[in-house]
Each structure stands twice: as C-alpha cells, then as structure tokens.
Amino acid sequence: MEFFEVRGGKPLAGAIAIHSAKNAVLPIMAASILADSQVTIMDCPRIADADNMLDIVRTLGCRTQRIGEDAVIDTAGMQDWVMPETLAKKLRSSIFMMGPILGRFRKATVSHPGGCEIGMRPIDLHLKGLAAMGVTFQEEGGQIHCDGSGMRGGEIHFDYPSVGATENVMMAAALTPGTTWIHNAAREPEIVDLQRFMNAMGARVSGAGTHSIHIVGVKKLHGVCYRPIPDRIVAGTLLAAAAVTGGAITLDNAHAPDLVAVISKLRDMGCEIRHSLSTIELRAPGRLRSFGQLQTLPYPGFPTDMQVQMLALSATAVGTTVITENVFENRFAHAGDFNRMGADIVLHDRTVVIRGVDRLHGARVAARDLRGGAGLVLAALSAEGTTIVEEVQLIDRGYASLERMLAGLGADIRRLCDTA
C-alpha cells in the first residue's frame, strides 16, 4: 500500500502549471461517445478517475489511447450499451454515461455508481430529468435498465441544481429530436465547458452558466480536438498549500474568475493575491488569521471540494473558524485525523468549530476521500515533524501526482510503498 511521508515546515515557492479539470474531463469523455468520429482531449490529466473512465468507454467498444498528454477516443466501433458493473463501482462519474448512451442507442443498462464515501448522492434527479424526456426505467439486481425508445425533447425543473444531473440531461438531449429545457440547472464552470465541447462537435446548446439551459436536438455530432478548462480545485489546493506554509507561488494556466470564493477567503486570512487572465500569484503572511465563517453552496457559492483545504488552514490560524457543509453530509470524516495532529476541532452535525492552535505535529493519518486526503497533506506540510498519510490512491483520483507538484515547489514529501 502506498503512502505519503511528509516532513513539514518548508514554505512553498515557485511556479507551476495547472492541468485540465477532473470535473470537466470526465463528462467530456462521456459526451465523446455521441460523436461519429475521433475525439481528442488535450492535456488530459493522468489521474485515476480519468483512467477508469477510459476503461469504461473502451469496454463499450471504443478505441482509446494516450498520446503524450492527450487522450484519444474513437467511437466508430462502439456497439454496447451495457456499462460494466465492476468499473462503474470504482467511479462516481460513471453515472454520466447514462445520458450519452441513451442519446446514441436509445437504451442503456447502468449500475449505481461508486466513488468516495462522502454522502448519499442519490441519482433520483438524473432519473427524473431523463424521465421527462420519455425514458422509462426498470431496476433489477442492482442494475438500471433504461428504455429510451420514446425519447423526445422535454422540460425539466430540478429541485436542486445537481451538476451530474444537469450534465446527463444535456448529453441525452443533444441527439434527441425536439427542444429540451433544463430549469434550476447547475451553473458550475464545468457545465459551461461541457456546453463548449458539445457545440464544438455540432450540438446546439445554450444557456450554460445560467439557471436555464436550452438544447435543440441534432441528427449527428462529429469528432473534435478540445482542451478542457484548468482544474480550479487543484489550483485552489495549491494556493492553500502555499498559504498554510507561509509561502509564495505563481500558478500558470489558472482561471481566477472560477476561484472568486476561494480567493476571497484566502485574502481574509491575510494572503496577498494578484491575478491576470491566466495566472494567479499568492504571497502568504507569517501566520494566517481566521476568515470567520464559511458555508459550502452550489456555484457560485464556496465549493464543497475546497472545504477541507480551508479547514486545514484554519487549524493553525489565529482565531476561531466555523465551517458548515451544505452539500455532502459525510465531508467531516477526517476531523479526527486533524485532531490527532493537534488541531482543536469540534463537530456538530454538519458544522465544525475550529479553534486555531499554534502548531500541528506529525502523526499517522489516512485519507478517507479524495479532498479529505488532500486536506491532510496540507496539514502535514505545516506540521512539526513527520506525517504519514495513508490511502493515497484516493488522492490520486483527482490530482496528477500531488506529491510531485508539491515537491516541485519545495515541499519535503515522498511517495513510499509499505511492503510489510
């Protein structure tokens, strides 16, 4: 089993480029199967979730290959509409395949998805949206059999602006006759990027980034070469790593407008931040101060995927911080590990109260989910002594060699293997 060994106390410094966004690449990979020819995804990160998605589309009959930093998907030989259960269980985003498979074949068999254990994340909104387009469902033996023979454009109103459900309906509607409206749609930058990608293939999608998305079905989509947006969560994590270590870094290929909520909190903590169209510079103070309160919300609110990183910063900030998690109910499972490192964190249901301590100390901790693992690494970077972070395969789901990124900025971090 691999783990990170981190010796804390080294301020991060230097420049690093941000790779394409995991949460943009995965739905783009799914949407690729709607094309009638080859799709090239440029700067596709070498992360576990992307590799698993490539395995899924390959199992469905597509040809895939990695060429340098790009991923190529050729859908010409795709004939299967049954998603492999073993692969689906590895990846929450496997549910994105339901919409495009239905769009292409008018039928699909899918499994309930896997991924990090950070909450229930039911797929009822996905099913509700597709049902409004005429899809019927039958569940048997843990699999969902979808009949799209009567698919048509429809009008959908989501009770909650679910990212995955919004993307699934967008993809299902692209090749479906008629007009589809999605109301109370998710507004994340990755939704806008999926619209750009689909339109580059010949789709007719508009309104992404607003509360209502409009899709006019077309007869076919063609292949394209496309570069997804940079990963705002990786960028935010690296900014937080520099902040917690008292460092100064520059991010290249980083889009500051997508990080407004995060940048605002870092400035509240005393960080100096400057940015241009594609770079962000951060210089941290000698010691951070509390930003007071934070609540996670759908975009443009504070992203749930950056919540634990801000908790890690708050652990040694001057003052008391209150963080409320409104998106996923199990996002504080790592609180005990932070306390094991000397933090003073009290959990009340979906809210934590963090009283900043002078310093953390090294300990043996374990990632319980992707972002929680990243947060523990940030705490380790600022802690005295050596910290062992286990279960790093969860961190690999969303960061392309996080230890290499951090080591390139001066951190003392190594990936090791437990051979016992």
In the chain, % of residues over pLDDT 90: 85
Kindly list the catalytic residues.
116
**92 band by pLDDT with thresholds 50, 70 and 90:** low
Q: In what order do the strands lie in the sheet with 248-252?
A: 13-17, 248-252, 279-283, 272-275
Nearest in space to 216 (alpha carbons), one of 158, 156, 172, 173: 173
pLDDT tens column, 280-330: 999 999 999 999 999 999 999 999 999 999 999 999 999 999 999 998 777
Do residues 375 and 387 touch, judged by C-beta distance below 8 A?
no
**How far is the CA of 246 from the CAs of 85, 271, 282, 405, in angstroms?**
45, 9, 10, 17
Residue 154 makes CB contacts below 8 A (sequence gap 6+) with: 132, 133, 134, 178, 180, 181
119 pLDDT above the threshold of 80: no
- 363 CB burial (10 A radius; 0-12, 13-18, 19+): buried
76 pLDDT above the threshold of 90: no
136 pLDDT above the threshold of 70: yes
pLDDT tens column, 346-383: 999 899 999 999 999 999 999 999 999 999 999 999 99
174 vs 141: which has the higher pLDDT: 174
pLDDT for 113 equals 67
The mean predicted confidence, pLDDT, of the chain is 94
CATH number for region 22-226: 3.65.10.10
Residue 51 makes CB contacts below 8 A (sequence gap 6+) with: none
Q: What is the pTM of this model?
A: 0.95
* CATH H superfamily, domain 2-19+230-417: Enolpyruvate transferase domain (3.65.10.10)
115 pLDDT above the threshold of 80: no
pLDDT tens column, 178-223: 999 999 999 999 999 999 999 999 999 999 999 999 999 999 999 9
**96 band by pLDDT with thresholds 50, 70 and 90:** confident
pLDDT for 316 equals 98
169 pLDDT above the threshold of 60: yes
117 pLDDT above the threshold of 50: no
- CA–CA separation, 173 vs 102, rounded Å? 9
Residue ranges, comma separated, of all CATH 3.65.10.10 domains in the chain are 2-19+230-417, 22-226
118 pLDDT above the threshold of 60: no
Radius of gyration of the CA atoms of the chain, in A: 21
Q: How many residues does the chain have?
A: 420
79 pLDDT above the threshold of 60: yes
Among 46-60, 61-75, 87-101, the minimum mean pLDDT is found in 87-101
pLDDT tens column, 40-65: 999 999 999 999 899 989 989 999 99
In the chain, % of residues over pLDDT 70: 96
